[in-house]
Structure 1
Amino acid sequence: MTDQPVWQPSASREHLKSRAQQLAWVRGFFAERGVLEVETPVLGRHGVTDINLDGIAAAVNAAGVSGGWLQTSPEYHMKRLLAAGSGCIYQIARVFRNGERGSRHNPEFSLLEWYRVGLDDTAMMAEVADLVCGWLGCDRPDVLTYREAQQTLAGIDPMAITDHDLYQYCQQWLEPEQLAGMGRDDCLDLVMSFKVEPLLGRGRPVFITRYPASQAALARVVSDDDGYPVAHRFELYIDGLELCNGYWELTDPVEQRARFEQDNRRRKAAGKPEMAVDQSFLAALDAGLPECSGVALGLDRLLMLKTGAERIEGVLAFPVERA
């Protein structure tokens, strides 16, 4: 006897209604600020090199294009629009990340991404707080540096701790042979995941800022913390839930190429396939990306906070198991 398919949605009608209200709120928020809504491809010719993201390949054969990727983020296409003179833009996008399924993850999810020309990361954090706290009706966030958060909640200094001591610290979660192939940033991510993040934003939202330069991703690195280089990157946490990742965007095409090459070296060392670099994106950087900041915010997670849903399927009509 075969199992009967589950055809019903996993989200209640009330939660579906709250999603519709959320979308209206977001669009009204940006309309008041004169930020243009755009759409970019869900299916692109390139994936991303980021070692922490696994894309979903697509079988495409059209107009001389063979193969493609469901996008993990609309970032590269949106930056091409910025370089073409779009001005401030936002997008409500469906994005895809392979292997991600859990209480807070679904392989397909809704992402709000926006870029503000002329704003640095500090000004962008204020706008994130306006949007999120306005929608949730909560207090505005505190601010902690990455270093302060780990010192206070994990009892280590992530900038100064030796690799040996960091590996020793992480043996409370993984065996030495499991740690053997992990780099310093992998271990710091473990500390964040197990010790720090669950305690962040309890009672009041909090921004984590000034990440180590090695975790800059696509953010610029122009500051230092007691002699240690740090990135102009921030994340927002509420009740232990990470909501967004924001950058004062890197605009240097030479540095961006170097980071892509470094990503692929790390992917190769980790046994992951190297990814072809998006040359159209790099050409846009060569043409000139305006000074800007950008944020990617998970709308499903924001809706979980609004509705009190404990698992992401509580706010999705059809999670991957029912799709």
Structure 2
Amino acid sequence: MKVSITLWLWCYLVLTIAQRSTLGNAGVIPDIYPAYFPPQQRITDSLEYQPRPRVLGTSPAVRKRREDHVAHTESREDAYSLGSKDSIQDFLVESVADEDDVVMRGGSGGTESMSVVKSETDVKEDDGLPSGNISKSVARAASSQASHKARFSGSPVPELIRALCLPSMSNSAALQHLTRQWSCRLASFRTGAGSRISLAKRFSATQDGTTFRPSRLLNGQHMSTAASNEPWLMKPEARLEELLRQGLTPYPRYKAPTIAVVSVKEIVSEYQEVLENGSRDSTKKVSITGRIHSKRASSSKLVWFDMVQDNNTIQAVFNRRTYSGSDEEFEAVAKNFHRGDIVQLTGHVGKTKTGQLSVFITEDFQMLSPCLHPIPTRTGLMDPEKRFRNRHLDFLVNRDGLEILKKRREIIKFIRQYLDSRNFLEVETPILSTQAGGANAKPFVTHANALDMEMHMRVAPELYLKQLVIGGVDRVYELGKQFRNEGIDADHNPEFTTCEFYQAFSNLEGLFDMTEDMLREMAIAVVGSPEVRHRVSEDETIQLSFEKPFRRINIMETLEEKLGTTFPDLETEPVAELLSLCKQNKIFVSAPHTIPRIMDKLISHFIEPECIQPTFLWGHPIIMSPLAKDIQLASGRIVAGRFELFVAGKEIVNAYEELNDPLQQRDRFTKQQSDKDSGDEEAQPMDQAFCTALEYGLPPTAGWGMGVDRVVQILTGSSHIRDVLAFPTMRALPASSSS
């Protein structure tokens, strides 16, 4: 008897060891780990498991905890789903995973496959994506096309795996749970032969009246993103056909609902502080329109949408119990409305139990315009070239861009109100003229076919506005576009916006005071304080103060102090002496070597870098300011009646006491024309019509011009001018990449 028992035990031990060895070689984890079913051996070989996740047992108590967990997950109002991503790599880099996540990644034959399952962790959403710390190993796996590696970290078994292991779940219930967890139909399964079988079909094939057993479905297979049926992986035509098949009209003619359409901002203002958690205003229905920002399916009967309208967001709850439409209509909407679609809905405003202000949809949930392409995430659209060439996408995902445009509108509105309140008349002057004047800049040139003549786009409206002052308009301004055919950098765009005003019977001292007052009030109106934080670069911000008075720097005196020399009379055009000074200080000046260009280079090298806080530069040489009146200083030096205001190293204001002597103006234009003939394309040409107008009498006038784009840069903390333009000028792409 003892020999029989001993022999039986030895046989059992040998068979058990052999069985486990066989299972291990086959790449299958034994039944003592029923919660995890690995990919095929060819995938397993390419994965690095470290460490193996802890798997719950199958005791009745543990099984009961699983069921309670799933029930809790289904009822969570903030139940979150991964959703489908533009690409596996973008998804991994942007959103993978907290420490308790499991990432599986593998592939063969050049096709990548991956499944990512979230464990029960605290999850925040940003642009519809989870946020968390991505491990270095996963980051490396995301960036590697050759080695498909991933790591397991953390011990709890993820929700999705737990759900698959519930033996009490039917096939349809398991499918619905997977759909809820991923807000999609989970791509497909790939068999060992490489064929793809859709998840729904695979479930149908196993509907034999028994409970769903994951081992029959997943053992030796893995989930693949290669054949996902998500709408943005379809061709646009295919998605439109699918919408029509579901009885949805993709582009209906808009019909205003019987209930007044309200804005999300109005809803927040009216209800945010009034409603209690878990309550609803059942006495009133609201109708809103907007774009779906994200979608989360909590169950087949409950879907959560985040709606965006004019940069304001509100949650919409699509619950079968409260929706008045048919089951077919509910199912069609729940399955076919996705991120990016523009929709209209009607419902009651309320708050969830967690206090989230929401619209509980009751009726009229309809498609207005579907999104047929993937909308990138914010972190997926960081390349400036991609952002500004696809500004429509940038505004969809980058809310800061729209906020800057709103600040820009506030600034322009403030400028108009400030000048209008002081009895200035706003006018429009020609953009095209026979010659460009009013500033030293290279113009854009075109040809008018009807007139058979060359035309220039304006570089400044100055000469036209002065003619209006001559004509009796004592206070006049124009806010509009200027065009200069020059370089593009962080502070320059060929097309830009300025505000210029001219005020009769005023002088430079009056402009100093008016400039300080305007900018201080503007900062308070737009930012809320005269103290402004400005971003100089991606890594550096500075504190600017627009409190009066601003610092003032006399240009000629400061240059002589820094150079340790006294300047010669610049009217004698001492080009050689100035070039020698530049050479001694290692300052390069490109040809043509004119006095204005050399002096401008010296100022930009020695003085402008010091102008971080608001600083007036005044006392320019007359030769640099052909349209400004002469001013004699107490020292006896004659300078131009001009100042420039610099903030954060940028010139934002240029102001003159206007020259009103027609003879002197002709003489200065003649010198400018000489520089132009010498190759200086920025010199101003002779304008006989303007000189003739001056002969009728220009009253003592002060003129002022502001670069609006640069002011917006400073007040919005933008380091580049393109950030404050809706559509900045971009360099042309090569023909091969333009598509």
Q: TM-score range by the shorter chain?
A: 0.7 to 0.9
| TM-aligned CA deviation for residue 165 of structure 1 | 5.7
| Change over 3 Å in CA distance of 1:42–1:158 after alignment to 2 | farther
Deviations for 1:224-270, whole angstroms, at most 9, x for unmatched residues? Answer: 46333211011111121111111000001111111111101011123
8 Å CA contact retained: 1:159, 1:212? no
Q: Bigger relative contact order, structure 1 or 2, given CA contacts below 8 A and separation 6+?
A: 1
| TM-aligned CA deviation for residue 78 of structure 1 | 0.7
The 3-state SS of whatever aligns with 2:620 is strand
| Change over 3 Å in CA distance of 1:60–1:276 after alignment to 2 | farther
Aligned to 2:192: none
8 Å CA contact retained: 2:442, 2:681? no
Please show how residues 1-323 of structure 1 align to structure 2 within 5 Å.
Answer: 6-8=389-391, 12-48=401-437, 52-62=440-450, 64=451, 66-136=453-523, 137=530, 138-140=546-548, 141-151=550-560, 154-157=562-565, 159=567, 166-171=578-583, 172-174=585-587, 182-200=593-611, 202=612, 204-224=613-633, 226-270=635-679, 272=681, 277-321=686-730
Residues in 2 aligned to 1:321 and 1:302: alpha-carbon distance in whole angstroms? 21
| Change over 3 Å in CA distance of 1:240–1:181 after alignment to 2 | same
Deviations for 1:126-155, whole angstroms, at most 9, x for unmatched residues? Answer: 111111222122222122211243246x34
Residues in 1 aligned to 2:587 and 2:639: alpha-carbon distance in whole angstroms? 27
| TM-aligned CA deviation for residue 7 of structure 1 | 3.0
8 Å CA contact retained: 2:582, 2:602? yes
8 Å CA contact retained: 1:120, 1:293? yes
Deviations for 1:287-313, whole angstroms, at most 9, x for unmatched residues? Answer: 111211001110000111101111100
| TM-aligned CA deviation for residue 70 of structure 1 | 0.6
- Count of residues in Structure 1 that have an aligned counterpart in Structure 2: 314
Residues in 2 aligned to 1:35 and 1:84: alpha-carbon distance in whole angstroms? 15
8 Å CA contact retained: 1:222, 1:232? yes
Counterpart of 2:728, as a letter, is P
| Change over 3 Å in CA distance of 1:87–1:272 after alignment to 2 | closer
8 Å CA contact retained: 1:49, 1:264? no
| Change over 3 Å in CA distance of 1:65–1:111 after alignment to 2 | farther
8 Å CA contact retained: 1:147, 1:157? no
8 Å CA contact retained: 2:631, 2:639? yes
| TM-aligned CA deviation for residue 159 of structure 1 | 3.3
Q: Which has the larger radius of gyration?
A: 2
The 3-state SS of whatever aligns with 1:222 is strand
Counterpart of 1:68, as a letter, is M
| TM-aligned CA deviation for residue 106 of structure 1 | 0.3
8 Å CA contact retained: 1:232, 1:247? yes
| Aligned-residue identity in percent | 28
Runs of 4+ in 1 over 6 A off after TM superposition: none
| TM-aligned CA deviation for residue 105 of structure 1 | 0.2
Residues in 1 aligned to 2:606 and 2:617: alpha-carbon distance in whole angstroms? 14
Q: TM-score, normalised by structure 2?
A: 0.40
Greater CA drift, 307-316 or 133-142? 133-142
8 Å CA contact retained: 2:555, 2:603? no
8 Å CA contact retained: 2:669, 2:687? no
Counterpart of 2:547, as a letter, is D
The 3-state SS of whatever aligns with 1:244 is strand
| TM-aligned CA deviation for residue 166 of structure 1 | 3.8
8 Å CA contact retained: 2:447, 2:453? yes
8 Å CA contact retained: 2:622, 2:630? yes
| TM-aligned CA deviation for residue 189 of structure 1 | 1.5
Structure 1: any 5+ residue segments left out of the alignment? none
Counterpart of 2:721, as a letter, is I
Counterpart of 2:558, as a letter, is A
| Change over 3 Å in CA distance of 1:181–1:29 after alignment to 2 | closer
Q: TM-score, normalised by structure 1?
A: 0.88
Greater CA drift, 130-139 or 119-128? 130-139
Residues in 1 aligned to 2:666 and 2:726: alpha-carbon distance in whole angstroms? 39
Q: Quote the RMSD (CA, aligned, Å).
A: 2.7
Residues in 1 aligned to 2:493 and 2:507: alpha-carbon distance in whole angstroms? 31
Residues in 1 aligned to 2:458 and 2:615: alpha-carbon distance in whole angstroms? 29
Greater CA drift, 229-238 or 281-290? 281-290
Structure 2: any 5+ residue segments left out of the alignment? 1-384, 395-399, 524-529, 531-545, 733-739
Residues in 2 aligned to 1:158 and 1:188: alpha-carbon distance in whole angstroms? 14
8 Å CA contact retained: 1:268, 1:274? no
| TM-aligned CA deviation for residue 197 of structure 1 | 0.4
Residues in 2 aligned to 1:127 and 1:20: alpha-carbon distance in whole angstroms? 21
| TM-aligned CA deviation for residue 125 of structure 1 | 1.5
| Change over 3 Å in CA distance of 1:158–1:292 after alignment to 2 | farther
Greater CA drift, 101-110 or 166-175? 166-175
| TM-aligned CA deviation for residue 103 of structure 1 | 0.8
| Change over 3 Å in CA distance of 1:303–1:156 after alignment to 2 | farther
| Change over 3 Å in CA distance of 1:227–1:266 after alignment to 2 | same
Residues in 2 aligned to 1:151 and 1:271: alpha-carbon distance in whole angstroms? 26
Residues in 1 aligned to 2:614 and 2:406: alpha-carbon distance in whole angstroms? 25
The 3-state SS of whatever aligns with 2:651 is strand
8 Å CA contact retained: 2:660, 2:697? yes
Residues in 2 aligned to 1:278 and 1:159: alpha-carbon distance in whole angstroms? 31
8 Å CA contact retained: 1:97, 1:108? yes
Counterpart of 2:667, as a letter, is A
Residues in 1 aligned to 2:472 and 2:427: alpha-carbon distance in whole angstroms? 13
